[in-house]
Structure 1
């Protein structure tokens, strides 16, 4: 027999049926990145601007409605003002300690390089701080992957009940070992999933979904990492980070055969191509240049598979690069050097070629490129520019001339963020004159 609910219970459940649940703001938990972005954009120029900014948010509206939730001691104007001032003060102090924001005269705010990188790539300010403090000029592949996967963006990666043993087995089968790995650490899991992606190990269920998120975040984080490295002027590490970006997109290690980027290719087939009598086939360009009959005999694929191969080869970047050092009176010791770079390719009527052919990447991705000028003798990165283009573009790279006159050798790198095997290198020499003296500056002899 059913008994009617007491009146008090009826009223309680009616409240859930007929009244909306209160929605609280979580802005105070993510305020660092919001304020950093507003400082970078110039919306917030001082601490008072930051307090005024908060008064226009949903957080401000909820403070008086549910003060206990936000740890307010009262709801008077004085309490609100003190709470917002303290919130802004603590947040900006953290950003200053992280070298994202500079505070002048204890009031005025200005953005620093790390803050600009964090805002541009929508990354957590603590991630950029970690990149800056952990990377060194001698960091290798293993260390780079550890630093990358310790990004704050991976801290919320779920560790589900029963996953620990699966993760332990996954960790034990990766290229780079883990020192005292904690299978309950989301950063360790992110590292294992990323290495499994490079090794093309099959994952199913929730692990595959987690791996998808790890991969997508990794591309953006690596772009931010390249900017952090470039700020320190480390050439070899910047090139390494760019190569890791290629690995993430294609799902393979840098030591694997470049032919594994092609559809339907296996390690066995790549090895057969490499051992091809007459001419070893090691790159996409080698395969593209073969006669049709020879290629068909070597690959032993169906017509449909061969069409897929042909489509990939047609989309693979084949870019003509020319460069020229611009002559100028400023090309003297301590002056400035300008390098003009022209990039061009024939798309043969196609306009979608900038979409990367990467079936192992979870979503559509467009080609991106870096132009880099470096000095290999000193491992110095002198200039870098991110490039995206369709058919033709011209780019100027400006960098400081050496402090001493004479001939100086540099390397121009053209690096892709999505394909392996299409990068280009060019050596060029600059004849730097002596610094102009007072007589030369004034135009007298």
Structure 2
């Protein structure tokens, strides 16, 4: 059987071809647009508050503008056009007349009934021969007939006649569906013949050249160049380079904000004449005397900047952090637009600071994130995070002569009457404003460490160069909470993962997050879903942000980072109950690293910093004891020897606890002989062991 390739001369299958191509592009794009977002900001709950800051309408407008960018209008338009093309192709398929391959039917060709016998068929064929025989008929020019067409028609009539009367040909027809036997396989190419006709070849080559030589390289190059322009923190490579050049070992606070202003993203934000528009007015407002968070060095650095774009970006960031009203709607809008850009750039600065390992810039990077999210200078009072709190209210609460700032926790530890006497009054807060501020304070996710320790999975001590875990047990205790239950000591223990959870044992992923509950008197293992804390209460930030807790170890003596930060965004136990009240559950946070290669006691400072709130940070000393391997092995051997006998009371109790009987001890021959000499029944020796082990168990 031969194969015959033919072109779809009428273009009948061309819609199928276009439908397939458009579907391959449109359907994946549709899934990408409609699939549920896994971003933390889209799945976390919110802190309940009706507080609206000044220029709340501008903040909301910037949020909407940012969302429009993230939705990628070009992708939406492409999907719409794709479905229009697909609908058009479906329409063409349904309404366009298509020629289909029909089965060979000799009765239809001859025009006789299927009930006709052989004689009737012969008579009918003879009548047709008199009419259609080439010697009897002439081509009709009016019908565009040719001699070849007449010959082909008579051949078809003859084949049909023999298919019904000749035994051999009839067998071919019955077996293969055609009097000529098995037919060749024809493949129709879904391209109109117009494309490959003589004279059109140069146009086809031109189209192919444009598609393969211009359009495809352009798309691939644009994708490749676009992907190479960004770092893994989704920051422009050029911005990361600028920030790297601004980095200094002692850089902190406003210096970091100045480094962030060098980001290339601000050029896109302030393109055209936006960079110079309103710059003089902006600088006058920011450099006013009431902007006390700026030092003389900061003011001078702003004036000495040569780049107009960077100069305006820095002024906008300082205006945002200082909550300076610029007296111009356009400038205020740019102020709120600049903050999310700078917040994204802090990821690049943090990565650079971690590469150098100096403690001050690392902590400063997290402080900069707090400042940008809360629109509060890093050196200002954490109370400014609360709704309606201003510098005047903070001075009244903390005292005009106070040299230290109150954290929200310390403020909430004051009695209600004391808080009211300080915060409520003429020129301060009203009762409604005070109630609103207290409500938000009581919802802040303050994570307090209950216990922190080091361990090696499956081992009782830490040995040199082993994979050690820092286990942090902490509880969410919102400021001002009362009747806080004591910590259950069992919750402060850490149980190794199951033996079959190899990924967790090897440190490739966290242990299976499972819990055991009683159902109908039986223990059932259930999967525990990860829990997110509420979104950061950041009324001045023109984007949603899910809080992140960064835990790392530092060497305070050298001012260096010892173990890089581990970031936690979700937790294994509910933070709030169904009524919205705190559960005070003990959360388990783990970070794994390699122990030092030498034996000794190593003291670190454990830092736990939330990137979204000021004053919720934790610092505490913690010591890692690295034991000598030989000593650790001896201790473990002693523990194994002290295991109770199977036939002792202690052994029976252990079996009831663990569900497994302890191994029998192997006694030396000398012990056995002496035992037999001292007590033939062996009761005394057993009683001694039993009492000792029972006391240990108690």
Question: After the TM superposition, which residues 126-165 of structure 1 pair with which residues of structure 2 at under 5 Å, given as runs?
Answer: 126-158=238-270, 159-160=273-274, 162-165=277-280
Relative to structure 1, the CA distance from residue 179 to residue 341 in structure 2 (aligned partners, 3 Å threshold; closer, same or farther) is same
Q: Say if 2:539 is the partner of 1:408.
A: no
Q: Say if 2:284 is the partner of 1:169.
A: yes
Relative to structure 1, the CA distance from residue 294 to residue 352 in structure 2 (aligned partners, 3 Å threshold; closer, same or farther) is farther
Relative to structure 1, the CA distance from residue 330 to residue 90 in structure 2 (aligned partners, 3 Å threshold; closer, same or farther) is farther
Counterpart for residue 431 of structure 1: 625
Relative to structure 1, the CA distance from residue 401 to residue 135 in structure 2 (aligned partners, 3 Å threshold; closer, same or farther) is farther
Deviation string, structure 1 residues 11-33 (Cα, Å, up to 9, x no partner): xxxxxxxxxxxxxxxxxxxxxxx
- Which one of 292, 312, 316 corresponds to residue 444 of structure 2? 316
Q: Say if 2:566 is the partner of 1:395.
A: no
Deviation string, structure 1 residues 47-105 (Cα, Å, up to 9, x no partner): xxxxxxxxxxx9xxxxxxxxxxxxxxx97749954897699789979988x9xxxxxxx
Q: After TM superposition, give the deviation of residue 307 of structure 1 in Å.
A: 1.3
Deviation string, structure 1 residues 308-328 (Cα, Å, up to 9, x no partner): 122122112332323221144
Counterpart for residue 385 of structure 1: 566
After superposing the two structures, state which structure 1 stretch, 316-325 or 148-157, moved more: 316-325
Counterpart for residue 614 of structure 2: 420
Q: After TM superposition, give the deviation of residue 124 of structure 1 in Å.
A: 1.8
**Kept in 1: contact 2:252–2:360 (CA 8 A):** no
For structure 2, the 5+ residue unaligned runs are 1-77, 79-205, 482-530, 576-584, 638-698
**Kept in 1: contact 2:553–2:565 (CA 8 A):** yes
Question: After the TM superposition, which residues 200-349 of structure 1 pair with which residues of structure 2 at under 5 Å, given as runs?
Answer: 200-203=323-326, 204-275=328-399, 282-300=406-424, 301-321=429-449, 322-327=451-456, 328=459, 331-345=462-476
Deviation string, structure 1 residues 115-142 (Cα, Å, up to 9, x no partner): 7xx24x4322322343445424333334
**Kept in 1: contact 2:382–2:405 (CA 8 A):** no
Q: After TM superposition, give the deviation of residue 358 of structure 1 in Å.
A: 2.5
**Kept in 2: contact 1:273–1:281 (CA 8 A):** no
- Which one of 525, 533, 540 corresponds to residue 360 of structure 1? 540
Counting matched residue pairs gives: 345
- Which one of 187, 200, 215 corresponds to residue 310 of structure 2? 187
- Give the whole-Å Cα distance in 2 for the aligned partners of 1:131 and 1:182: 15
Relative to structure 1, the CA distance from residue 79 to residue 436 in structure 2 (aligned partners, 3 Å threshold; closer, same or farther) is farther
Relative to structure 1, the CA distance from residue 222 to residue 77 in structure 2 (aligned partners, 3 Å threshold; closer, same or farther) is same
Q: After TM superposition, give the deviation of residue 333 of structure 1 in Å.
A: 3.6
Counterpart for residue 46 of structure 1: none
Counterpart for residue 235 of structure 2: 123
After superposing the two structures, state which structure 1 stretch, 147-156 or 287-296, moved more: 287-296
Counterpart for residue 45 of structure 1: none
Q: After TM superposition, give the deviation of residue 422 of structure 1 in Å.
A: 0.9
Relative to structure 1, the CA distance from residue 87 to residue 365 in structure 2 (aligned partners, 3 Å threshold; closer, same or farther) is closer
RMSD: 3.8
- Give the whole-Å Cα distance in 1 for the aligned partners of 2:245 and 2:282: 29
Deviation string, structure 1 residues 371-394 (Cα, Å, up to 9, x no partner): 122222231241311112362642
Q: Say if 2:554 is the partner of 1:374.
A: yes
Relative to structure 1, the CA distance from residue 171 to residue 298 in structure 2 (aligned partners, 3 Å threshold; closer, same or farther) is closer
Q: After TM superposition, give the deviation of residue 191 of structure 1 in Å.
A: 0.9
Relative to structure 1, the CA distance from residue 221 to residue 343 in structure 2 (aligned partners, 3 Å threshold; closer, same or farther) is farther
Relative to structure 1, the CA distance from residue 129 to residue 92 in structure 2 (aligned partners, 3 Å threshold; closer, same or farther) is farther
Q: After TM superposition, give the deviation of residue 413 of structure 1 in Å.
A: 1.0
Counterpart for residue 28 of structure 1: none
Relative to structure 1, the CA distance from residue 362 to residue 267 in structure 2 (aligned partners, 3 Å threshold; closer, same or farther) is same
Q: Say if 2:286 is the partner of 1:196.
A: no
Q: After TM superposition, give the deviation of residue 411 of structure 1 in Å.
A: 1.2
- Give the whole-Å Cα distance in 1 for the aligned partners of 2:245 and 2:207: 41
Q: Any idea what SS the aligned residue of 2:377 has?
A: coil
Relative to structure 1, the CA distance from residue 430 to residue 147 in structure 2 (aligned partners, 3 Å threshold; closer, same or farther) is same
After superposing the two structures, state which structure 1 stretch, 231-240 or 165-174, moved more: 165-174
Q: Any idea what SS the aligned residue of 1:155 has?
A: helix
More RCO (CA 8 Å, sep 6+): 2
- Give the whole-Å Cα distance in 2 for the aligned partners of 1:288 and 1:136: 37
**Kept in 1: contact 2:454–2:470 (CA 8 A):** yes
Counterpart for residue 192 of structure 2: none
TM-score computed with the length of structure 2 as normaliser? 0.44
**Kept in 2: contact 1:383–1:398 (CA 8 A):** no
TM-score computed with the length of structure 1 as normaliser? 0.66
Counterpart for residue 525 of structure 2: none
Counterpart for residue 106 of structure 2: none
- Give the whole-Å Cα distance in 2 for the aligned partners of 1:78 and 1:329: 69
For structure 1, the 5+ residue unaligned runs are 1-57, 59-73, 99-114
Deviation string, structure 1 residues 252-288 (Cα, Å, up to 9, x no partner): 212212222222222222222223999x982212221
**Kept in 1: contact 2:359–2:554 (CA 8 A):** yes
**Kept in 1: contact 2:373–2:541 (CA 8 A):** yes
